[in-house]
Amino acid sequence: MAIFMTVITTRISNELDIIRKAIESYIEEKADLLIALSCIEKREEVISLEDIKKKYGLED
């Protein structure tokens, strides 16, 4: 019985870790979106990713 419970506990732990990572990723993406929307609403200068790559020599 103890081995069975260990397997269940491990499986739940792994599943919770996957869920935690998904939530963290969602929150980070949501924060980025809110920052971008705020910049657009304030009519701040928008710089494309392509321009940033060129500026810092990160072109593919």
Q: Which helix (H) or strand (E) holds 14?
A: helix 2-41
Please write the tens of the pLDDT for every residue from 32-57.
999 989 988 999 888 899 999 999 99
Per-residue pLDDT at 18: 92
Please write the tens of the pLDDT for every residue from 3-38.
656 666 777 888 888 999 999 999 999 999 999 899
CA distance 38 to 25: 20
Per-residue pLDDT at 7: 66
Per-residue pLDDT at 24: 94
Per-residue pLDDT at 32: 94
Q: Which of 17-20's residues contact partners 24+ apart within 8 Å by CB, and which partners?
A: none
Structure tokens at 58: 């990160």
Q: End-to-end distance of the chain based on CA atoms, in angstroms?
A: 55
Per-residue pLDDT at 27: 96
Coil, strand or helix at 45: coil
